[in-house]
Structure 1
């Protein structure tokens, strides 16, 4: 049974609960020596990374899914000088200019109150690999300047990626 099927409106929404947890986790961003498996409710950012020479993890990127099962998308404007323009599915540049908007399915929670969250859109790197942002999010996701406010009760699922360090967070 999904939360959508619940008649009891006082029960919590699992996507809302997870995003609240991720927000608290990112706010705390405390190091821990435990080697825990990666999942949305892992209590420590970067706990699955044994290499102490990397930057401390400060972000748990995720994908939200709408009621029809598709990934939620939001528009962003690419940062100037960050990298080449985004690509289509074949890895070819879509535009030669930076003055256009693109869509992304990757997010970082910036703030959350109840089930209302401010999400920062993460900018995917242009690459020809089939799943680079999922396979290697540290190398293939960047902060954008675009944020979106969402009602977390409108999503049916959340998929978390490996914890990463994003400069500027």
Structure 2
């Protein structure tokens, strides 16, 4: 069911509630501050990122997406290339995270977007362990203090998601 479905309560009259439109607004706001590439809500985060008199000019609105079928946060997965210092060999390390940064929409698409995985830094320590337990159950006592941009991107069809939660704007730590 797409956002413009006339039988949907979120029809074209209410498109501001569509995940596709919110992520498009995030990309647009981030593009304004990036040359190359309630209090907490997607709209509040977009306004904070667009605020012209901000002392701390952030570049990213991190967000979580909720799967249509399960209503649980979508966990994105990808692989980082790890180069070994002592030789010319490399290996691949799997990473996963429910936190994303919207990079850009595919040409001509309103709902297919490239997302970058953001890895949380909890209690000032890098941690990346997700398994079959709920993300919230595993991290209930740990505070997320920052995010690392991974450079690992995936392309998703936002029509497959039923919800989005945005965090306050940040500037992620660049990938190493």
Q: TM-score, normalised by structure 2?
A: 0.63
- 1:106 aligned to 76, 81, 99, which one? 99
- SS, match of residue 155 in structure 2: strand
> Quick check: 1:29–1:44 contact (8 Å CA) kept in 2?
no
Change (3 A) 1:163 1:79: farther
- 1:41 aligned to 40, 43, 68, which one? 43
> Quick check: 1:110–1:117 contact (8 Å CA) kept in 2?
yes
Task: Give yes or no for the alignment of 1:26 onto 2:30.
Answer: yes
Structure 2: runs of 5+ lacking an equivalent: 84-90, 128-137
Change (3 A) 1:45 1:79: farther
> How far does residue 69 in structure 1 lie from its aligned partner after superposition?
0.6
Detail structure 1 runs of 4+ shifted over 6 Å in the superposition. Answer: none
> How far does residue 16 in structure 1 lie from its aligned partner after superposition?
0.4
Which residue of the partner structure matches residue 84 of structure 1?
none
Change (3 A) 1:20 1:47: closer
> Quick check: 2:4–2:11 contact (8 Å CA) kept in 1?
no
Change (3 A) 1:24 1:147: same
Change (3 A) 1:130 1:79: farther
> Quick check: 1:60–1:108 contact (8 Å CA) kept in 2?
yes
> Quick check: 2:64–2:99 contact (8 Å CA) kept in 1?
yes
> Quick check: 2:104–2:113 contact (8 Å CA) kept in 1?
yes
Deviations 1:73-101 (A, max 9, x none): 111335759xxxxxxxxxxxxxxxx8420
- SS, match of residue 28 in structure 1: helix
Task: Give yes or no for the alignment of 1:148 onto 2:154.
Answer: yes
Change (3 A) 1:79 1:160: farther
- 2:120 aligned to 96, 103, 124, which one? 124
